[in-house]
Homo-oligomer: A and B are copies of this chain.
Amino acid sequence: MRKISESTVRRLSLYLRFLEHFAAQGQTTISSAELARRGGTTSAQVRKDLSFFGSFGKRGLGYSVSELTARIRDILGLRRTYRVVLVGAGRIGSALVQYPGFRQRGFHVAAIYDKDPKKIGSRWNGLVVRDIRHLDGDLGKEPSDIAIVVTPAESAQEVVDRLVHAGVKAILNFAPVQLAVPADVVVKSVNMALELETLSFALANR
Protein backbone atom coordinates (compact mmCIF):
# COMPACT_ATOMS: atom_id res chain seq x y z
CA MET A 1 0.00 0.00 0.00
CA ARG A 2 1.25 3.47 -0.84
CA LYS A 3 2.03 5.87 1.98
CA ILE A 4 -1.14 7.66 3.04
CA SER A 5 -0.82 11.25 4.23
CA GLU A 6 -2.45 12.47 7.41
CA SER A 7 -4.66 14.82 5.42
CA THR A 8 -5.98 11.82 3.47
CA VAL A 9 -6.69 9.98 6.72
CA ARG A 10 -8.59 13.01 8.02
CA ARG A 11 -10.68 13.19 4.87
CA LEU A 12 -11.45 9.46 5.12
CA SER A 13 -12.73 10.09 8.67
CA LEU A 14 -14.95 12.84 7.34
CA TYR A 15 -16.24 10.70 4.45
CA LEU A 16 -17.10 8.01 6.99
CA ARG A 17 -19.23 10.48 8.95
CA PHE A 18 -21.10 11.53 5.81
CA LEU A 19 -21.59 7.90 4.75
CA GLU A 20 -23.09 7.02 8.13
CA HIS A 21 -25.38 10.00 7.80
CA PHE A 22 -26.46 8.90 4.31
CA ALA A 23 -26.96 5.30 5.47
CA ALA A 24 -29.19 6.50 8.33
CA GLN A 25 -31.35 8.24 5.70
CA GLY A 26 -31.66 5.02 3.70
CA GLN A 27 -29.40 6.08 0.84
CA THR A 28 -27.61 3.09 -0.75
CA THR A 29 -25.26 4.71 -3.29
CA ILE A 30 -23.30 7.93 -3.32
CA SER A 31 -21.31 9.80 -5.94
CA SER A 32 -17.82 11.20 -5.50
CA ALA A 33 -19.37 14.62 -6.28
CA GLU A 34 -21.71 14.33 -3.30
CA LEU A 35 -18.93 13.25 -0.93
CA ALA A 36 -16.82 16.12 -2.28
CA ARG A 37 -19.55 18.68 -1.76
CA ARG A 38 -20.07 17.56 1.84
CA GLY A 39 -16.37 17.41 2.54
CA GLY A 40 -15.54 20.77 1.01
CA THR A 41 -13.23 19.20 -1.58
CA THR A 42 -13.32 18.09 -5.25
CA SER A 43 -14.59 14.89 -6.88
CA ALA A 44 -11.07 14.29 -8.18
CA GLN A 45 -9.71 14.47 -4.62
CA VAL A 46 -12.35 12.03 -3.36
CA ARG A 47 -11.56 9.55 -6.14
CA LYS A 48 -7.85 9.93 -5.45
CA ASP A 49 -8.33 9.38 -1.71
CA LEU A 50 -10.40 6.25 -2.29
CA SER A 51 -8.10 4.92 -5.02
CA PHE A 52 -5.43 4.35 -2.38
CA PHE A 53 -7.33 1.26 -1.36
CA GLY A 54 -8.02 -0.30 -4.74
CA SER A 55 -10.94 0.04 -7.06
CA PHE A 56 -14.32 1.12 -5.73
CA GLY A 57 -17.43 2.37 -7.36
CA LYS A 58 -18.86 2.03 -10.83
CA ARG A 59 -18.80 4.84 -13.34
CA GLY A 60 -22.21 6.48 -13.42
CA LEU A 61 -23.50 4.47 -10.46
CA GLY A 62 -21.30 5.85 -7.69
CA TYR A 63 -20.16 3.99 -4.62
CA SER A 64 -22.15 1.55 -2.54
CA VAL A 65 -22.67 3.29 0.82
CA SER A 66 -22.43 0.08 2.85
CA GLU A 67 -19.38 -1.25 0.99
CA LEU A 68 -17.52 2.05 1.19
CA THR A 69 -18.42 2.45 4.89
CA ALA A 70 -17.07 -1.01 5.70
CA ARG A 71 -13.91 -0.40 3.69
CA ILE A 72 -13.14 2.95 5.35
CA ARG A 73 -13.85 1.55 8.81
CA ASP A 74 -11.43 -1.23 7.98
CA ILE A 75 -8.75 1.18 6.76
CA LEU A 76 -9.11 3.41 9.82
CA GLY A 77 -8.78 0.46 12.18
CA LEU A 78 -12.37 0.84 13.41
CA ARG A 79 -13.44 -2.81 13.09
CA ARG A 80 -12.46 -3.29 16.73
CA THR A 81 -12.83 -1.35 19.97
CA TYR A 82 -10.01 0.34 21.84
CA ARG A 83 -9.45 0.49 25.56
CA VAL A 84 -8.28 4.03 26.34
CA VAL A 85 -6.75 5.36 29.56
CA LEU A 86 -6.84 9.05 30.37
CA VAL A 87 -4.18 10.71 32.51
CA GLY A 88 -5.05 14.08 34.00
CA ALA A 89 -8.46 14.72 35.57
CA GLY A 90 -8.69 18.42 34.73
CA ARG A 91 -11.19 20.39 32.68
CA ILE A 92 -10.19 19.13 29.27
CA GLY A 93 -10.07 15.57 30.62
CA SER A 94 -13.58 16.05 31.99
CA ALA A 95 -14.84 17.22 28.61
CA LEU A 96 -13.16 14.31 26.82
CA VAL A 97 -14.50 11.59 29.11
CA GLN A 98 -18.04 12.70 28.38
CA TYR A 99 -17.52 13.15 24.67
CA PRO A 100 -20.11 10.89 23.01
CA GLY A 101 -18.13 10.66 19.77
CA PHE A 102 -15.48 8.51 21.40
CA ARG A 103 -17.73 5.64 22.44
CA GLN A 104 -19.67 5.76 19.18
CA ARG A 105 -16.38 5.14 17.37
CA GLY A 106 -15.31 2.30 19.64
CA PHE A 107 -12.92 4.26 21.86
CA HIS A 108 -13.79 3.31 25.44
CA VAL A 109 -12.26 5.40 28.19
CA ALA A 110 -11.72 2.65 30.76
CA ALA A 111 -9.72 4.44 33.46
CA ILE A 112 -8.74 7.93 34.60
CA TYR A 113 -5.64 8.81 36.60
CA ASP A 114 -4.46 11.87 38.49
CA LYS A 115 -1.93 12.62 41.18
CA ASP A 116 -4.02 15.25 42.99
CA PRO A 117 -5.40 13.75 46.27
CA LYS A 118 -8.43 16.04 45.92
CA LYS A 119 -9.33 14.38 42.61
CA ILE A 120 -8.42 10.78 43.41
CA GLY A 121 -11.54 8.82 44.31
CA SER A 122 -13.98 11.25 42.70
CA ARG A 123 -16.50 9.89 40.19
CA TRP A 124 -16.30 10.89 36.56
CA ASN A 125 -18.97 9.69 34.21
CA GLY A 126 -19.19 6.36 36.05
CA LEU A 127 -15.43 5.99 36.50
CA VAL A 128 -13.50 6.59 39.71
CA VAL A 129 -10.33 8.70 39.31
CA ARG A 130 -7.40 6.50 40.33
CA ASP A 131 -4.07 7.45 41.89
CA ILE A 132 -1.46 7.77 39.14
CA ARG A 133 0.83 5.46 41.11
CA HIS A 134 -1.46 2.55 40.14
CA LEU A 135 -0.98 3.29 36.42
CA ASP A 136 1.80 0.81 35.73
CA GLY A 137 0.25 -2.02 37.76
CA ASP A 138 -3.19 -1.50 36.20
CA LEU A 139 -1.79 -1.53 32.66
CA GLY A 140 0.12 -4.70 33.51
CA LYS A 141 -3.20 -6.38 34.32
CA GLU A 142 -5.31 -4.70 31.65
CA PRO A 143 -3.26 -3.41 28.74
CA SER A 144 -4.42 -0.39 26.72
CA ASP A 145 -3.44 0.54 23.18
CA ILE A 146 -4.27 4.21 23.47
CA ALA A 147 -3.71 6.81 26.16
CA ILE A 148 -4.91 10.41 26.32
CA VAL A 149 -2.48 12.69 28.17
CA VAL A 150 -3.95 15.88 29.63
CA THR A 151 -1.32 16.63 32.26
CA PRO A 152 0.60 19.90 32.75
CA ALA A 153 3.58 20.29 30.40
CA GLU A 154 6.16 19.51 33.07
CA SER A 155 4.76 16.06 33.96
CA ALA A 156 3.81 14.89 30.45
CA GLN A 157 7.10 13.26 29.41
CA GLU A 158 7.39 11.25 32.63
CA VAL A 159 3.80 10.02 32.28
CA VAL A 160 4.41 9.13 28.63
CA ASP A 161 7.56 7.20 29.51
CA ARG A 162 5.53 5.12 31.97
CA LEU A 163 2.73 4.58 29.45
CA VAL A 164 5.18 3.47 26.76
CA HIS A 165 6.95 1.17 29.20
CA ALA A 166 3.56 -0.39 30.01
CA GLY A 167 2.91 -1.13 26.34
CA VAL A 168 0.79 1.80 25.16
CA LYS A 169 1.33 2.27 21.42
CA ALA A 170 -0.63 5.42 20.63
CA ILE A 171 -0.93 8.68 22.54
CA LEU A 172 -3.24 11.64 22.10
CA ASN A 173 -1.36 14.47 23.77
CA PHE A 174 -2.93 17.70 25.01
CA ALA A 175 0.08 18.87 27.02
CA PRO A 176 1.84 21.78 25.29
CA VAL A 177 5.15 19.95 24.91
CA GLN A 178 6.93 17.91 22.25
CA LEU A 179 7.09 14.30 23.47
CA ALA A 180 9.92 11.85 22.85
CA VAL A 181 8.73 8.30 22.15
CA PRO A 182 10.23 5.18 20.52
CA ALA A 183 9.70 4.70 16.78
CA ASP A 184 6.91 2.14 17.25
CA VAL A 185 4.75 4.54 19.29
CA VAL A 186 2.60 7.14 17.58
CA VAL A 187 1.83 10.51 19.16
CA LYS A 188 -0.81 12.94 18.00
CA SER A 189 -0.65 16.31 19.71
CA VAL A 190 -3.57 18.69 20.04
CA ASN A 191 -2.77 22.24 21.02
CA MET A 192 -5.65 24.68 21.17
CA ALA A 193 -3.50 27.83 21.01
CA LEU A 194 -1.79 26.41 17.95
CA GLU A 195 -5.19 25.91 16.27
CA LEU A 196 -5.97 29.57 16.93
CA GLU A 197 -2.61 30.50 15.45
CA THR A 198 -3.52 28.88 12.13
CA LEU A 199 -6.48 31.32 12.20
CA SER A 200 -4.43 34.40 13.11
CA PHE A 201 -2.00 33.41 10.36
CA ALA A 202 -4.88 33.27 7.89
CA LEU A 203 -6.22 36.63 9.07
CA ALA A 204 -2.76 38.24 8.81
CA ASN A 205 -1.99 36.83 5.36
CA ARG A 206 -5.19 37.42 3.43
Contact = CB atoms under 8 A, between A and B. Distances in A.
Nearest to A173: B195
Nearest to A10: B194
Given A203-B145, A203-B169, A78 B197 contact: yes
Interface string A140-182: 0000011000000000000000000000011110001010000
A44 interface: no
A193 B99 contact: yes
A197 B76 contact: yes
A133 to B, nearest CB: 26
Contacts of A171: 199
Contacts of A25: none
Interface centre among A75, A146, A190, A205 (most CB of B within 10 A): A205
A134 interface: no
A91 interface: yes
Interface of A: 1, 4, 6, 9-10, 12-14, 17-18, 38-40, 75-78, 82, 84, 90-92, 94-96, 98-99, 101-102, 104-107, 145-146, 169-172, 176, 178, 184, 186, 188, 190-206
Given A102-B192, A186-B202, 6 more contacts: A39-B178, A75-B205, A78-B200, A91-B98, A170-B199, A172-B195
